[in-house]
Structure 1
Amino acid sequence: MSIDQEVAKARKDIRTDDYQMSIGEWVSLYENEDLDIHPEFQRLFRWTDRQKSNLIESILLGIPLPPIFVSQRENGVWDVIDGLQRLSTIFQLMGILKDQSGKSVPSLELQKTKYLPSLAGMCWDGENELPPELKRIIRRSKIGVSIILRESDENTKYDLFERLNTGGTKLTDQEVRNCILVMADMSFYEWLHSLTQISSFAETTSLSEKLVTEKYDMELALRYLLFSEADAEILRSVGDVGSFLSEKMIDLAKSTTFDRSKAYSEFKAVFDALAECMHENAFKRYSPEKGRHEGAFLVSVFEAVTAGVSARIKAGKSHNEIPNLAATLWTEHDFTNWARSGVTAARRLSRIIPFAREHFIK
């Protein structure tokens, strides 16, 4: 297929519409539940009150704002793909913003800004209320909307969300994936999160509070699900690992054959076995010279050992040899050559995972 044909085909997969809407119209959509700003994301996309006040200042001064990107569902409801904080700030100022549980979020009290210092302490309603003429300016101000119509390819909104919310954003890759997953299937997001709450998983990975806050634990759970039993052909096809995780996560969430209950039990069995035998040493480097595990958590060890232990459990073999097998991995060149730093995940996975499976069922 030529580049011209590829462009033509891809353009047919995406149907969009663009126009200007007043803030009053955005408010009506939200109040009528025709607009979903996904309050589950508010912790991740949190702005400071100073940033929020600067946005209101921009509106009052007539500074054009970037368009809001939305995706139209089958029932006509709009999912906000990009622009959540802009809309949330406006709705909070007006006192109509709801949190994930449906409770009202406290109204925004504005702060002093560069060009409008008198905004300090002002609110939409109350003792220090914005003047009516300023409220009218806000309601009548326009923000463009770019709509991905429902005729578009089903996965377009997830791809667009990822593109718009990576690069320059403070979100980690997994936090972006979690947002995508909430839009795709909230129940799968909750199920994936439940894996990270298994005590043996937390004990063996022993992640820092910062990494847990950034949802790296959920990325590890996802890596296990996608890599531990993947065949050689799939592992060789990985390419960019981040893109692979995002794409296959949606496939898994929407799968009608994936047995979540069975997968949960198998996941727990692997980490229970590792916690019983190795505790916090499960995913650390082993020094044959010193005869001990040392250093920090290594994702390459996590990938190999979990795949190996999963294979061992399925083969009906005992847990007793797991510590020795994890240690002797570090005497095998077929493992150490590919598990070292500097080797990309795309090159590493297709080598260490099949090797680890064979190694752990000896």
Structure 2
Amino acid sequence: MTSNNDEKIEVSNNDEAAPLEELTSDSTGSGLEAEPLDDAGEIRAPFDPKLIDVITHQRTVDLLMARLGHGELNLSPDFQRRANLWSEARKSGLIESILLRIPIPSLYVSEDKDGNYEVVDGLQRLCAIAHFVRVSGLNKALNTKLAPLRLTGLQSLKNELDHKAFDDLPRPLHRRIMETELTLHVIRFGTPANVKFNIFSRINQGGLPLKAQEIRNAIYTAGKWREHVRRMAITKDFLSATEGKIKGERLEDHELVLRFAALFSLPSDEKRHPDENLEEFLNEFVDKRAVGWNDQKWQETEAAFDRAMKSAPRVFGRMAFRKYSKPNEARRPINRGLFETEAVALAQRPDIEINALAERSDQVIEKFGQKFSGDNDFANALLYATGKGWASNKRLEVINAIFEEVLHA
């Protein structure tokens, strides 16, 4: 995979040197500990190549803006958090490229049963174009109130066009922009969801690649899982337990909730397959197991989640969802694997045990620190291949063992 500076992650060869935190598009902390790049986006789900159905069209800017105005080019509520992220200077640079007749990279869209398009790759480019030539359509799609874009920071056309809006341009330049043809790769309606997920993962290698959760939200639309996950991610208890630190720009908060729901839904005597990766596990959950859940089942899951969120700070104190650090050390960012593990382990405990663990919180934290420094398998399950089944199983095994030791001390 390749990427540019649109998405930055602090990295270090020494995990103990300092807390590592993923950065958002504006270079502020996301609230989550960075995970190894080779643990994310692994593509290994096989499928029949004959099921791939992608066609290529040439479509003018004018046609795509008309689709946007009619609601036929879907920038998607599930992608709104990452829509329109470019600066005005970067947007202006794209418009300048169009005016200079420099080819624009291809766009990928997914087609629905009515022939409407949902953007897969190229969202920032389309937002930039719409902001300049059809801001009303962009505002309607994103429920925003943006003013028309005025070109800024131009290079070749600075003297002629700097600070001009679309309506300020002469008709020949209007025509040049609106008649520009963009290459559109269309993933046809009827392509199976698992095939779409694989295609999305492979093609999103550009400037701001989609995260797995963003792809999942776009593809697996059956059932009510997205509605319930979204609701769980804005509860007072979740925001309090995470201290409001999860920015969620790329649906990271949704993925945390989904990881809990998928793992909590497993029978108590069932473990994940050791070699199963996170995407397989979560996709199977939303595509098969959760698709038939009724409101009562979701309400039970939401209640368990809220209970875990209330309990985690009581039991783990300042270490809740974080790797162990000594009292005189800076806390680490929230660790995805520990969030999933501690939340599920607490949700599975009766109130009497949670109250006992909260009363002995110092013992829980002390034993957690001992395991973190003395159990290499546990430490590895928090650092390497954290989404793998073996790592998830190991984390749950250790946290539950700590609980048992404290409860029966």
**TM-score with structure 2 length normalisation?**
0.71
- Report if the CA contact (8 A) 1:67-1:146 is conserved: yes
Residue by residue over 1:130-170, the C-alpha shift from the partner in whole angstroms, topping out at 9 and shown as x without a partner, is 10011111121111111111132134444333333356537
Q: Which residue of 2 aligns with 1:149?
A: 188
- Of 111, 117, 122, which aligns to 1:78? 117
Counterpart residue number, 2:63: 25
Residue pair 2:81, 2:251 contacting (<8 A) in 1 also: no
Which of structures 1 and 2 has the bigger CA Rg?
1
C-alpha distance in 2 between matches for 1:132 and 1:114 = 22
C-alpha displacement at 1:12, in angstroms?
1.4
Question: How far is the alpha carbon of 1:30 from its aligned partner?
Answer: 2.1
Instruction: Return 5+ residue gaps in structure 1 as ranges.
Output: 1-5
Is the 2:378–2:394 Cα contact (8 Å) retained in structure 1?
Answer: no
Question: Which segment drifts farther, 161-170 or 325-334?
Answer: 325-334
- Is the 2:262–2:282 Cα contact (8 Å) retained in structure 1? no
Contact conserved, 1:71 with 1:78, CA < 8 A, in 2? yes
Gaps of 5+ in 2: 1-43
Q: Secondary structure at the match of 1:111?
A: coil
- Structure 2: how far apart are the matches of 1:262 and 1:139? 52
Percent of matched pairs sharing the same residue: 21
The aligned counterpart of 2:48 is: 10
Q: Cα–Cα, structure 1 residues 303 and 60, in superposed 2: closer, same or farther, change >3 Å?
A: closer
Instruction: Report the equivalent of 1:3.
Output: none
Output the CA distance in 1 between the equivalents of 2:144 and 2:329.
Answer: 49
Compare 328-337 and 248-257 and name the one that shifted more: 328-337
1:225 pairs with 261, 279, 291, which one?
261
Give the Cα–Cα distance (whole angstroms) in 1 for the partners of residues 81 and 337 of structure 2.
30
**Deviates most, 232-241 or 112-121:** 232-241
Corresponding position: 1:133 with 2:172: yes
Q: Which moved more, 1:341-350 or 1:294-303?
A: 294-303
Amino acid at match of 2:126: L
Q: Which has the higher contact order (CA 8 A, sep 6+)?
A: 2
Query: For structure 1, which segment, 197-206 or 42-51, has the greater mean C-alpha deviation from structure 2 after superposition?
Result: 197-206
Three-state SS of the structure 1 residue aligned to 2:349 is: helix
**1:59 CA drift (Å):** 1.4
- Matching residue within 144, 160, 163 for 1:121: 163
The CA deviation at 1:286 is 5.8
Where do 1:154-169 residues align within 5 Å? 154-166=193-205, 168-169=207-208
Give the CA deviation at 1:247: 2.4
The one-letter code sitting in structure 2 at the alignment partner of 1:348 is: A
Q: 1:66·1:144 contact (CA, 8 Å) conserved in 2? A: yes
Question: In 2, distance between residues paired with 1:269 and 1:293?
Answer: 29
Inter-partner Cα distance in structure 2 for 1:257 and 1:78: 29
Q: What is the match of residue 79 of structure 2? A: 41
Which residue of 2 is the match for residue 59 of structure 1? 98
Could you tell me which amino acid in structure 2 is paired with residue 202 of structure 1?
Answer: L
Amino acid at match of 1:198: T
Question: For the residues of structure 2 that align with 1:202 and 1:335, how far apart are their CA atoms?
Answer: 32
Q: What are the Cα deviations for residues 94-132 of structure 1, in whole angstroms up to 9, with x where unaligned?
A: 23322456455321111242211121122222xxx1100
Count of aligned positions: 346
Distance 1:40 1:154, change over 3 A: closer
Deviates more, 1:72-81 or 1:290-299: 290-299
Counterpart in the other structure of 1:97: 138
Inter-partner Cα distance in structure 2 for 1:11 and 1:124: 44
TM-score between the two structures when normalised by the length of structure 1: 0.78
